[in-house]
Chains A and B, each alone.
Chain A
Amino acid sequence: MIEINNLHKSYKMGANSLHVLKGLNFSIKEGELVAIMGSSGSGKSTLLNILGMLDEADSGEYTLDGVPIKNLNETKAAKYRNKFLGFIFQSFNLINYKSAMENVALPLYYQKVPRKQREEKAIKYLSQVGLKEWAHHLPNELSGGQKQRVAIARAMAAEPKVLLADEPTGALDSKTSYEVMDLIQKINDDGNTILVVTHEEDIAHMCKRIVHLKDGVIVEDKKVDQVRASQYV
């Protein structure tokens, strides 16, 4: 599903250049649930942003579902993001003046799905994350866990090839974190490919594979026995 080859990225900070990713190689198959771990500054968020086409690599190859991702202009990137990817952010990034349902329906709006179908689909995904009753509430009427579940529903709504989660539990307490992870595991059980960036060991072990990043290189890439989050809920 995802292939990356010799990926480099550096940031210019005034006169200095900060080499963040130093030639990464790895691949993710369909249906995997991968945790990318590393301390802050290890380059894990940069990697996720490049995978998410929110940022561009300096050099190297990136293939997503057989499509080479390169020379993207903004319009093309937007179309690929909409078609291939679903994002889950640490700070949820819901639009605060739109209701939960409208937030979930937004990616479908950009897919030019008719309004009625959008709303039906949004309700369907909201009930999948257990928030059907909250469909018409604004984000600030929801708890942190609920907000993240709305964000997950939104990421799912476009039926993307890959879900990218950047510290999805970073702003949540551990009980809510496990609930969110439980949801992510269930979505993965349905066959969806998911990438989770985290720095928490227990969250990482709820995935099926852990990729360790340190100073811009992969130091470890191992399969793990998945810890089911449901036992903590």
Chain B
Amino acid sequence: MFSRDIWKEIFETIQKNKLRTFLSGFTVALGILIFVVLFGFGNGLINTFNEFFSNDATNVFMVFRGRTTMPYKGYKANRTVEFDNSDLEDVEKNFPLFLEYLSPRITRQDTVSYKNESNSYSNWGVGPAHQYAEMNIIMKGRYINVMDIKNKTKNAVIGRLVEQDLFGSKNAVGKYIDVGGSSFKVIGVFQDDGGDNEERNIFVPYTTMQLIEKNTDKIDAMVIGFKPEIGYAGAMAFEKSLDKFIREKKYIHPQDRNGIFIRNVADQLRQNQQFARVLQIIVGFVAFGTIIAGIIGISNIMVFVVKERTKELGIRKALGATPKSVIGTILLESVFITTVSGFIGMLLGVGILSSMGERLEDFFITNPYIDMPMAIIATVVLIIFGGIAGYVPARRAARIKPIVALRDE
């Protein structure tokens, strides 16, 4: 089976029937190529979904306030719900079993300047725990701490890009910046995986911000971190009772969708992961279909090849070719062509995927890839089926009486 003579015979046949070889090779290569690329895109989609959430902690609720749309307990509809510092204390007091950390958030947009440089940034009044929810990484200096909150210090933590914008290459820590008309001391610089926007934030103690704004005690939102060990079901239960608690306290109708809004990152993450998985199944299904189409393609070509060679096979049999050698030659030829072109298609596909890299991020495909074992398995499957597809007509050809084959014009 592996003698040099047989291979030489096969190479000669391949060489002298270029169109036939090209057609069958092309089908296989294209099938594998499309499979690899599609599968890689599927993985890219999942990467994108995972990346959306990797830059924030997933054990976090964000509680936002809104405007009621239903009258309830004597209160009219269209009332603005307000949060204040007492709400923080109440939540802390009532949910000690679930709560890991808690931070208010007051969101403002302010002009921030240092010497001649000035720009508009999101300026958030927060507590120390906010760092965990946003997963900010302190590059230098420190984050806002309990003493800042207690003493209402005029300290600010700025994003990496804020430092870059205002200070260029100089160190911002210890310098004073002007935030919306008040002077703040930069105590730390952070970075964030969430992209440029998240690094153009500045954080100040929420108590300081309240003091500046006429000593109010209002806050915009609550960021609540729950203990990861309560699990998904625990988080759902926590969300439900938290929702109920706040609605009761603020007199909001239980069915009112606009009074408050709790964003459950864990739940969203789960839903999105499920969505991504469904997408991958669909993509995988299409890719699988491509492989099937490739198998059908190669089968068709093999039937055609054997038909075309009927007379030649008859001549060979008249000259002493045994059925075994007829089948062997056809099979080896087809397996050889599928193997070579299959791996060419696979390598091309992998090459295309890795050359895509970042270019498809606008289409939600990040870093598309296929695991090598997966690609190789698909290729081998196609080769095996190509072989089977070749075997059936080859066996039939080997059975044809040479006299019948010779009559075939």
Contact = CB atoms under 8 A, between A and B. Distances in A.
Interface of A: 49, 52, 54-55, 74-75, 78-79, 81-83, 87, 89, 93-95, 97-98, 102, 106-107, 109-112, 114-115, 154, 158
A68 B322 CA distance: 20
A113 to B, nearest CB: 10
A74 B319 contact: no
Nearest to B325: A110
A125 to B, nearest CB: 14
A82 B322 CA distance: 10
A189 to B, nearest CB: 25
Given A74-B398, A74-B399, A79-B322, A106 B316 contact: yes
Interface in B1-29: 5, 8-9, 12-13, 16-17
Interface in B307-325: 311-312, 314-325
Given A75-B322, A97-B16, A89 B317 contact: no
A116 B325 CA distance: 21
B319 A115 contact: no
Given A49-B403, A74-B399, A158 B320 contact: yes
Given A54-B403, A75-B323, A78-B322, A93 B315 contact: yes
Nearest to B8: A115
Contacts of B317: 74, 78, 81
Nearest to A76: B322
Contact of A115 (B5, B13, B324, B406): B5
A82 B319 contact: yes
Nearest to B3: A112
Given A55-B401, A95-B312, 18 more contacts: A49-B403, A54-B401, A54-B402, A54-B406, A74-B317, A74-B399, A75-B324, A78-B322, A81-B319, A87-B318, A93-B311, A93-B315, A97-B13, A106-B316, A106-B319, A107-B320, A109-B5, A111-B320
Contacts of A49: 403
Residue among A74, A79, A93, A107 with the most chain B CB within 10 A?
A74
What are the 10 tightest A-B residue pairs by CB atom distance, in nearest-first order? A82-B320, A110-B320, A97-B16, A54-B403, A78-B322, A107-B319, A75-B322, A74-B323, A93-B315, A54-B402
Contacts of A102: 12
Nearest to A87: B318
Contacts of A112: 5
Given A97-B17, A115-B8, A110 B403 contact: no
A87 B323 contact: no
B318 A81 contact: yes
Contact of B403 (A55, A82, A97, A158): A55
Nearest to B399: A74
A87 B5 contact: no
Contacts of B9: 109
Given A55-B401, A109-B5, A115-B5, A93 B406 contact: yes
Given A97-B17, A109-B9, A78 B321 contact: yes
A75 B406 CA distance: 18
Nearest to A95: B312
A79 B402 CA distance: 13
A182 B137 CA distance: 99
B16 A81 contact: no
Given A55-B401, A95-B312, A74 B320 contact: no
B144 to A, nearest CB: 82
29 contacts: A49-B403, A52-B318, A54-B402, A54-B406, A55-B401, A55-B403, A74-B322, A74-B399, A75-B322, A78-B321, A78-B322, A79-B320, A81-B318, A82-B319, A82-B320, A87-B318, A93-B314, A93-B315, A94-B315, A95-B315, A97-B13, A97-B17, A98-B12, A98-B16, A107-B319, A110-B316, A111-B320, A154-B319, A158-B319
Contacts of B402: 54
B406 A89 contact: yes
A75 to B, nearest CB: 5
Given A54-B406, A74-B399, A109-B9, A93 B318 contact: yes
Contacts of B323: 74-75, 78
Contacts of B13: 97
A52 B319 CA distance: 11
Contacts of A94: 315
Contacts of A81: 317-320
Contacts of A109: 5, 9
A111 B312 CA distance: 18
Nearest to B406: A93
A102 B315 CA distance: 13
Interface in B275-323: 311-312, 314-323
B318 A54 contact: yes
Contact of A78 (B16, B311, B320, B399): B320
A203 B115 CA distance: 116
Contacts of A93: 311, 314-315, 318, 406
Contacts of B16: 97-98
B2 to A, nearest CB: 14
A103 B311 CA distance: 14
Contacts of B315: 93-95
